[in-house]
Structure 1
Amino acid sequence: MSNPINLTNHCSVTEATDNTWPVYQPFVNAIHDKIHEKDVSGTGWIQDPLEQNSSVLFELNWLAEEIKAQADTLIVIGVGGSYNGTKALDQALSPYFKRTDIEIIYAGHQLSGAYLEQLLQHLEHKNPYIYVVSKSGTTLETSLTFRLLAQFMKTKYGQSYCERIIVATDGNSNPLRKIASDNHYRCVSIPIPIGGRYSLFTVVSLLPLAVVGIDIMELLKGASAASEQLSNSEIEHNLAYRYAILRHEYYKKGYHVELLASFEPCLTTLHEWWKQLFGESEGKQQKGLFPTSASYSTDLHSIGQFIQQGSPILFETILSFGQIEGDVVIPFDRNNGDQLNYLADRRFNEINCHAKEGVIRAHVDGGVPVIELTVNKLDAYHMGYLCYFFMKACAMSGCLLGVNPFDQPGVEHYKRKTLESLTNSVVHSMK
C-alpha cells in the first residue's frame, strides 16, 4: 500500500535523523503499546474507524437523507471537538462558492448575544433541523444556545418541532440525554472511550458531513488505511511517529511555537481543528508547543516578516497537496502592462506550488526549521488519512512530553470558574 503522505524535514537543526531513531525506539515502543491498550481512557478512536462505524452508517445516511429532504438549513450546536472537525472537513471538501441545497450553520461555539440574535432573524424564513452535540451534556455554550433554539423551534413548528431535533451525546445519563428523553428528541450516541477532540470519525461529524454531501465512506476508508499503516511501532515505518519525534526535538532545541501553514484557503478551519487537537492534548504541566497557524500566501503579507526575521521561537509545519481539483490558466495580454506575459499559459496551482517552494527556502535561510507534509490529493479519502495521522502523532507527542494527551484539566477548571462566577452573580442580584 502506497503512503498517501510524505514527510520532508527541511532543516538540520534537529538531531532526529535515520541514525538517531534507535535512541527513541524503546520509548516509542512502550508508548505505542500503552495507547493501544483497550482499557486506556480516551483511546477508543485508535481502532479502525471504518469498522467502528459499520453498525451506524445505515442510520446516519438515513438521517442525512431525511434532513436533506425536509430542511434547507442544518444548525450544528456544539463547541470545541463537537464542531471543529465538522467545520474543518465541511470547508476543506466543499466548493468555495457553489454550496449544496442545504446550508450548514454553526452555533453554540461562543456566547455572543449579537450572533444569536442575528441567527434567529436569519432562521425566520428558513426550514431548519437542529443537531446538538455535547458528549458531557453539560457544556455551557452548547446548553444555553440549545435552550434558546429549541424554544425557537417550538414556536415555529408547534408540537411537531421535536421531530426536527437530533441529539448526539454519550451513552451515560446526563442532563442533555434526559432533556432528549423528556422531549422525544432522537438521540445518537458518541462512543464513551473517545474524547471530543478525537471524535472526528464518529457520529459527531459524520452525520452533518453526510448532510452537506461529503462522502463519509471515503473519509472513513482513508482513516482506516491510516489506522492500518500507522499501527506499526517501528519509527522507520510510522510517519506519524517520525513527525511527533521531530516536533519533540525542535521543542527541546528551544522552538516552543509550531506554526501550521497551507496554501489553500479552504484549509483555514482545519488549522483550527489542529490547534485544538495539539494545544488541548499537550499544553499541561507548563509544557508543550504553542500551536498557531497561517494561511499562505495571504499571511505572508502580514506576519510573514516576523516568521522570517522575528524572534527565533518557532518552526513551521507546511501542509501541501499533490493534486487539487480545479485550476485556471493565466491569460496572455497584448499590452502586457503588468509585465507578466512570461507567465502566460501557466496555471495558478503551479504558481502556488512555486510560492510554497520559495517560502520554504526563504524561511530555512532565515533560520526557521520547516517540516513539509505532502498529501497526495485534497479529497475525502486523503483528508481522512491526514486527520487520523495528526491524531496518532498527537497521542505519541503528548506522551513523549510526559503528559496525558487524552484529558483537559485546564478546560474543566475554566468551566468551574465560569459557573462559579455566574452563580455568584445570580446570588448577588437576589440580595
Structure 2
Amino acid sequence: MPLTLDRSHVLPFLDDRPALDDRVAQAHRRVLDGETEMPEMLGWRRMLLDPDDALLESVAETAAEIRDRADVLLCIGIGGSYLGAEAVMQALDTPFSDDGPEILFAGHHLGPEYHERLFQYLDGKSVYVNVISKSGTTLEPALAFRFARRFVERHFDDADRRIIATTDADRGALHDLAVDKGYRRYVVPNGVGGRFSVLTPVGLLPIAASGVDTRSLFYGAVAGAREVTDADAGHPALQYAGDRYALGEQGYKTEVMAVMDPALRGIGAWWQQLFGESEGKDGKGLFPVVLQYTTDLHSVGQYVQQGQRTLVESFLRIDDAGEGLEVAEQDDNGDGLNYLAGKTYGEINEKAYAATAEAHAEGGVPNWTVTLPRLDAENVGRLIHFYEHAVSVSGKLLGVNPFNQPGVENYKQKMFSLLGKPS
C-alpha cells in the first residue's frame, strides 16, 4: 500500500474546494509537460523516469569501500547538500547502532566550537570526506573543507583516495581542485536544484555509506513518479498541493509539520527547506515549521491549540511503527499508570496522535495526516517524491518559480561586505 493522505480534518475548513480541482489538474499537467519557469530544473523528475543503474552501482561500490575502511565519513555541505541525506539516515538508521562508519556533518553552519571540537574528535580515527558543493565557493562548506582537506592530508598518505567531491560536472572551484588532486568525483546534475537533490549522488553516497539500501530508496521514488504521471486531481500529492493553496488563499499563514516519531524529525527539516525555499517568494507561501509530537505538545502545543488561528498542520506518521515496550502492572501504582498495563509504546503513541489531530481540528486548526505504511527505504523514497511533486504543483498554483531562491543571496552579500570580501 502506498502512502495515504487523510483530509477529514481539512475538508470542513475549505471554501468550495472542488472548484479548484481543474486548476490543480492543469498545474500538475504543466509540471509533467515542463511548462514551468526554469523547465530545465525538472531534472529531479526526469532522472526518475530514466534511472541510471550504473550510477547507483558506482555509488554502492564507493560506499562499500567507505564502510570497510572508515571509522568516520565527514560530509561537508549546507542546505540541500546535507538535509536530505541526514533526513533519510535519521529515518532508516537503527537507533543506538554502531554498524558501519559514523556519519558526521560539517560546513552546515558557522559554529566555531563545533568545528574546532570536530577535528579534535577525528584525531586518531580513519576518516573519509565527502565534500558536496556545486561551486566550491559557498562560504560555510568551503571554509569547513579547508580544514578537512588539511586534516586528511596531514594524517593520511592516501588523502586523494579519502576525499570524494560531489560537484559540477565541468566547472567551478571544487571541480577544478578535484581534477588537479585526483579526487573521485560525483556530479551534481545541472537540472536538479539543491533541495531536490537527495536522490542524486549528493544524498545517495552518504546514505549508502550509512548502510541504507539506496536502490530501494531510489526505486521507491521511481514508482511514485510513474504513478503520478497518469494521476488525476485525486492523487494525494495533488490534493495536498491544492488544499495548501486553498487554505493560503483563505488567510492561513503557517504550516506545521508534526512528526509522531523522532525518526521522522529529519524528514521534517528537509520538508521545511523544500517548501520554504520553493514557495516563499513575492510575499506568498505558507511558512513551514516542523515540530515533534508529543515532545512539542509540552512546549508550543498550547499555542497550536489556542493561539492565532493562522495555522494549518500536517501530521506525518507510520502505520506499522512497531509496538515497542509493553507496560507491566505494578503493585504500588504510585505513578497511576496501571490503566496502561498491557499496552505498548506504539499503541499509546497512536492514541496520542489521534487525540491531537481531533483536538487541534476542534480548536480551529485544519490538519491532514500523511501515513507511511512502513518506515523503509522504498516508502521514504515515495515520500520524497510526494513532497517534491506537491511543491512543484503548489508553486505553479501560487504563480512563483519553485526552482530558484533569489532571497538567499541577500544575507550573503551583506555578510561578504562585513567580512571584507573583494568585489
Q: Give the TM-score taking structure 1 as reference length.
A: 0.93
For residue 168 of structure 2, the aligned residue among 167, 170, 181 is 170
Q: Following TM superposition, by how much is the alpha carbon of 1:37 offset from its aligned partner in structure 2, in angstroms?
A: 7.8
Within 5 Å, which residues of 2 pair with 1:272-351? 272-325=269-322, 327-351=324-348
Deviations 1:279-314 (A, max 9, x none): 000011111110011100000001000000011111
Q: Following TM superposition, by how much is the alpha carbon of 1:38 offset from its aligned partner in structure 2, in angstroms?
A: 12
Q: Following TM superposition, by how much is the alpha carbon of 1:34 offset from its aligned partner in structure 2, in angstroms?
A: 4.3
Q: Which amino acid aligns with 1:380?
A: A
Equivalent residue number for residue 395 of structure 2: 398
Equivalent residue number for residue 155 of structure 2: 156
Equivalent residue number for residue 184 of structure 2: 186
**Structure 2 contact 317–371 (Cα < 8 Å) conserved:** yes
SS at match of 1:377: coil
Equivalent residue number for residue 123 of structure 2: 124
- Say yes or no: does 1:384 pair with 2:381: yes
Distance in structure 2 (CA, Å) of the matches to 1:154 and 1:122: 17
Deviations 1:316-370 (A, max 9, x none): 0111111124611111112222222221111110110000010011111111111
Distance in structure 1 (CA, Å) of the matches to 2:373 and 2:16: 25
When residues 112 and 26 of structure 1 are mapped into structure 2, their CA distance, relative to the original with a 3 A threshold, is: closer
Equivalent residue number for residue 246 of structure 2: 249
When residues 156 and 329 of structure 1 are mapped into structure 2, their CA distance, relative to the original with a 3 A threshold, is: same
Deviations 1:10-50 (A, max 9, x none): 03111354x43544256325533443789812110112537
Q: Which amino acid aligns with 2:310?
A: I
When residues 252 and 25 of structure 1 are mapped into structure 2, their CA distance, relative to the original with a 3 A threshold, is: closer
Distance in structure 2 (CA, Å) of the matches to 1:339 and 1:418: 55
Equivalent residue number for residue 205 of structure 1: 203
Q: Which amino acid aligns with 2:134?
A: K
When residues 16 and 378 of structure 1 are mapped into structure 2, their CA distance, relative to the original with a 3 A threshold, is: farther
Question: Any gaps of 5 or more consecutive residues in structure 1?
Answer: none
**Structure 1 contact 48–228 (Cα < 8 Å) conserved:** no
Deviations 1:97-133 (A, max 9, x none): 1132310000010112211110010011211000000
**Structure 1 contact 72–103 (Cα < 8 Å) conserved:** yes
SS at match of 2:41: coil
Distance in structure 1 (CA, Å) of the matches to 2:397 and 2:231: 14
**% identity of equivalent residues:** 38
**Structure 1 contact 259–317 (Cα < 8 Å) conserved:** yes
Q: Which amino acid aligns with 2:139?
A: L
Equivalent residue number for residue 361 of structure 1: 358
Equivalent residue number for residue 27 of structure 2: 28
Report which stretch shifted further, 284-293 or 406-415.
Answer: 406-415
**Structure 1 contact 16–245 (Cα < 8 Å) conserved:** no
When residues 300 and 229 of structure 1 are mapped into structure 2, their CA distance, relative to the original with a 3 A threshold, is: same
Report which stretch shifted further, 324-333 or 27-36.
Answer: 27-36
- Say yes or no: does 1:271 pair with 2:268: yes
Q: Alignment RMSD, CA only?
A: 1.9
Distance in structure 1 (CA, Å) of the matches to 2:16 and 2:182: 56
Equivalent residue number for residue 107 of structure 1: 106
SS at match of 1:235: coil
Equivalent residue number for residue 71 of structure 1: 70
Distance in structure 2 (CA, Å) of the matches to 1:297 and 1:15: 31
**Structure 1 contact 41–406 (Cα < 8 Å) conserved:** no
Question: Any gaps of 5 or more consecutive residues in structure 2?
Answer: none
Equivalent residue number for residue 52 of structure 1: 51
Q: Give the TM-score taking structure 2 as reference length.
A: 0.95
Q: Which amino acid aligns with 2:240?
A: Y
**Structure 2 contact 76–105 (Cα < 8 Å) conserved:** yes
**Structure 1 contact 48–223 (Cα < 8 Å) conserved:** no
Distance in structure 2 (CA, Å) of the matches to 1:112 and 1:227: 38
Q: Following TM superposition, by how much is the alpha carbon of 1:139 offset from its aligned partner in structure 2, in angstroms?
A: 1.1
Q: Which amino acid aligns with 2:228?
A: L
**Structure 1 contact 86–209 (Cα < 8 Å) conserved:** yes
**Structure 1 contact 74–130 (Cα < 8 Å) conserved:** yes
- Say yes or no: does 1:235 pair with 2:223: no
When residues 50 and 398 of structure 1 are mapped into structure 2, their CA distance, relative to the original with a 3 A threshold, is: closer
When residues 390 and 117 of structure 1 are mapped into structure 2, their CA distance, relative to the original with a 3 A threshold, is: same
Q: Which amino acid aligns with 1:74?
A: L
**Structure 1 contact 281–398 (Cα < 8 Å) conserved:** yes
**Structure 1 contact 6–375 (Cα < 8 Å) conserved:** no
How many residues were matched structurally? 422
Q: Which amino acid aligns with 2:305?
A: Q
SS at match of 1:194: coil
Distance in structure 1 (CA, Å) of the matches to 2:350 and 2:223: 27
